[in-house]
A and B are shown apart, each in its own frame.
Chain A
Amino acid sequence: MSISDQDAFNALSALLTGFNIGLIAPRVDPIGLPPLFLTTATDYSDGECANLLATFVALKAIDPALTDDDLGGIIMGLSPDPTTGVLIAANQTLVAQAIMKMWYLGSWYQPFEITGFKAGAQTVVSDQAYIKGLAWQSMQSHAMGNSTLTFGYWDKPPVASLQDFTGNSDVADGASPNPTEWGATT
């Protein structure tokens, strides 16, 4: 059974961002970011977005045993495709990274030069793309300029957990990081 490009895009987005697909692509959705993001990634990637989705669907079909970590590692270019033994095309990884940034920041970062757009050129995809950016969710807050809470909320830690914000029950939710990494010096 084939899945639609949109479904593949949503599944890939959930895998790469770590967010629950029901949060980033809700069925009852008054905003409609997933189709906007797929269109954006398609329009600014000279066909590489379609290639990436094809790679993703093929990987899942060929080896259902691949975990999300395996799949993500392959798509991020960190480990080779287990069937071919080679890394996926670099431009597909670049598109995947651009898609992740689009979800996290609401901006499209042009991954490689295409006609009219240099690599690194940026654009805010839409106002809603900005305010729904997952970066803000990862800090258990809201986009700057779009409070979703009420007066005085800032004098206490967030009421909702990181799990609530991400729909991902595996996240650490503020568990202490390695102190040396964070520079505790005393």
Chain B
Amino acid sequence: MSDPEYDIVIVGAGVAGPIIAKELSKAGAKILIIEGGPETAPTNREEYMSNFFLNTVKTPESPYPPGLGADPAIEATPRATIAQTFTQNIPVDWKDHLGTGGYIYDPNISYLLQEGPQPFLSSYERVTGGTTWHWLGTSLRFLEHDFKMKSTYGADNPDYPLPDWPIAVDDLLEAYGRAEHEIGVAADVTVQIADLSDIGLKFSPGYTYPMQEIPPSVVDNTIANAVNNTSDFVLFEGQNVVVTSTPAGRNSQPNGSRRTCAGNTNCIPICPIQAKWDGTVTLSGAQATGNVTLKSQCVVTKVISAGYGQPVTGVEYVHWENKNSGVSKSETMTATAKIYVIAAHAIETPKLMLMSDMGNGKTVANSSDQMGRNLMDHPLYLSWSLMPEQIFGFRGPLTTSGIESLRDGPFRSDRAAWRCEIGNEGWNFAIGDPWTSVNDFIDGSNASDTNAGGAKLFGTALIDKLSSHFTRQWRMGFLVEQTPEANSRVTINRDNGIVDGLGLPRPVINYELSEYTRLGFASAEVFSRQVYQMLGAKNFTKNEPTVKVGDIEIDNPVWFENPDKAVFDALPDALKIPDLCANGQAVPDGFTYFGAGHLVGTFRMGADPRTSVVDSYSRSWDHTNLFLVGDGVFPTITTANPTLTLAALAMRTSDAIKEQLGITA
């Protein structure tokens, strides 16, 4: 075999790919990045912003190619979208066919083939820069106990669902700092330490963030004034409650060539001015070294190796182009390097790896049979309410603070923890405002549940109603820690005949929230009632067990039964007042969940090759020159948004690759 063309081939230009490319290219390594989606020149922002403005559905994916209505069987790089999980895409008899070849969402519309029993609701992008085009910017570190859940909370419980990581928080502190400086995280370390050091938030001595804190919103300050420094919340007895400014990869001052955040309230789907870091920023820095070649619109179809214990010897890929109404693809090409890095996130990476047959009935990097398993997200409980006074949401970045102080606690022995994100976008996420309420108050309809009288307003009365309504809206989003489950997983099925536009199999998803996870929803509802009580706010949250497809009422796949009615029965009467309760129910029938866009697990790291896919450096146990990077390696998802930690792990991997290549720069 001839000498490899490159030192490193990286598959995927999202978060981890560009970070590793930049770290290694600065040290002189020659790198090829293969990206499935189109290249996104900085000037593409014009096109994407135009798509955003003109799309009636402004979901996270709405600005980006392929368009929301694109047929996943035709496109070269289809991906999961929120729009694919809209109610109208659910077959009315969906429940009857699960387990017998049926899917929750129509496979003619949904890229993911969802076998259930519950739907996976998160989405991603396949463009250069990846999903960071529409990420929020939240850059939280994991807590000390997050890395050691089993030994901290489940040592005596053989069924405890959360494993330890093979590393501890101290192993990652330096890498966290590097990642925060690469991304450009705005936060005040003294505030973070003051609020959260007692639940295990840690920094290297003398550490400072690269940018000052982003100011909290009027909404944040109002909530903080009501709840801060109380410690008698039911279910969290003795634990301090405090609203903390959220560290964010968002400019609080000019940063390089990028502008200061102007509060466009649009981090998702797209920052108009790139005040928010995305993968293209780091990629551009990597390309500036002259050591990086980017091949976009190239989809890797196979990772080649002769067997476990053997190195990876190449990756096969095809280049595609949109031609007329279809896709044309090149002959299969092969790229070779000393080191291979697969950075295609928790769905596309296992899909690729499971496609990588070694000719002996085995697939690359899967001696553990863990590839694709333990798919996780932050199932999100959304709770929305109206304040008694104006708090002026719909202003500033989408979120600027959260209640982080309950992310750890002794309750984690029994039920899932969460972080509570405070929204600055009124009921935009919750019910699609301002569209929904404007329609209600003009038409006399009541989709918002705030126009029961059917008022049809115009003129001054309309302005007064909308002003009063919109300036009092707010919401909390609870990111619940989901347990890893062997049967929540990504697989491929070459026999179902369902492929993408390149003829590749599409990801098959099995997914289910565990009892431990569901209990986190109950505690979130109990917590939100107490917050609303302190604020004098009225809860408008709806958890609907059924939805209508046309005129037919069907079971809502994102609804599940309340796992702990007893805890609600036991609440004091003051917390059972209908105005404080979701659906007005003192004892909820059940809850619904949203996706958080966090694709985690599926090639977990561990200390034991028999139960994990990669080691603590994200190196495959089976092939020493293969690294599988990204948040797919997380053994647990914890309660924090994953991007910062996956960026820190990419720094750690970069160091390991440098060592392996003998680069000391």
* Least distance between A8 CB and chain B CB atoms (Å): 16
Contacts A124-B56, A151-B252, A182-B538 hold; do A105 and B438 have CB atoms under 8 A apart? yes
> Size class of A's contact patch?
35 or more
- The reply to whether the CB of A68 lies closer than 8 angstroms to some CB of chain B is yes
Residues of B within 8 A of A136 (CB): 394, 434
Q: Is the CB of B459 within 8 A of A157?
A: no
Residues of B within 8 A of A130 (CB): 53-54
- The reply to whether the CB of B580 lies closer than 8 angstroms to some CB of chain A is yes
Contacts A138-B466, A185-B577 hold; do A144 and B265 have CB atoms under 8 A apart? yes
- A166 to B55 Cα, complex, angstroms: 26
Q: Is the CB of A139 within 8 A of B466?
A: yes
- A186 to B385 Cα, complex, angstroms: 15
- A3 to B394 Cα, complex, angstroms: 39
The residue on B at minimum CB distance from A104 is: B438
- Taking a contact as CB atoms closer than 8 A, the residue among B53, B216, B538, B539 that contacts A127 in the complex is B53
* Least distance between A146 CB and chain B CB atoms (Å): 7
Contacts A19-B463, A171-B463, A174-B468 hold; do A97 and B443 have CB atoms under 8 A apart? yes
- A183 to B265 Cα, complex, angstroms: 27
- Taking a contact as CB atoms closer than 8 A, the residue among B265, B392, B400, B461 that contacts A140 in the complex is B392
- The reply to whether the CB of B367 lies closer than 8 angstroms to some CB of chain A is no
Contacting chain B: which of A10-18, A49-57, A84-92? Answer: A10-18
Residues of B within 8 A of A145 (CB): 49, 52-53, 264-266, 270, 272
- A69 to B386 Cα, complex, angstroms: 29
Q: Is the CB of B264 within 8 A of A147?
A: yes
Residues of A within 8 A of B533 (CB): 185-186
Q: Is the CB of B434 within 8 A of A184?
A: no
Q: Is the CB of B394 within 8 A of A183?
A: no
- A15 to B260 Cα, complex, angstroms: 39
- A172 to B435 Cα, complex, angstroms: 22
Q: Is the CB of A183 within 8 A of B263?
A: no
Contacts A145-B264, A166-B463 hold; do A184 and B388 have CB atoms under 8 A apart? yes
Residues of A within 8 A of B44 (CB): none
Tell which of A127, A145, A156, A168 has the most Cβ of chain B within 10 Å.
A145
Interface residues of A in 126-165 (CB under 8 A from B): 126-127, 130-131, 133, 135-136, 138-142, 144-147, 149-158, 162
Q: Is the CB of A18 within 8 A of B434?
A: no
The residue on B at minimum CB distance from A139 is: B470
Q: Is the CB of B538 within 8 A of A157?
A: no
Q: Mark B576-620, 1 if CB is under 8 A from A, else 0.
A: 010110000000000000000000000000000000000000000
Residues of B within 8 A of A185 (CB): 532-533, 536, 538, 577, 579-580
Interface residues of B in 501-547 (CB under 8 A from A): 532-533, 536-539
- The reply to whether the CB of B411 lies closer than 8 angstroms to some CB of chain A is no
Q: Which 4 A-B pairs have CB atoms at the shortest separation, nearest pair first?
A: A183-B538, A154-B396, A127-B53, A139-B470
The residue on A at minimum CB distance from B50 is: A127
Q: Is the CB of B463 within 8 A of A168?
A: yes
Residues of A within 8 A of B400 (CB): 154
- Taking a contact as CB atoms closer than 8 A, the residue among B462, B471, B532 that contacts A18 in the complex is B462
- A183 to B460 Cα, complex, angstroms: 23
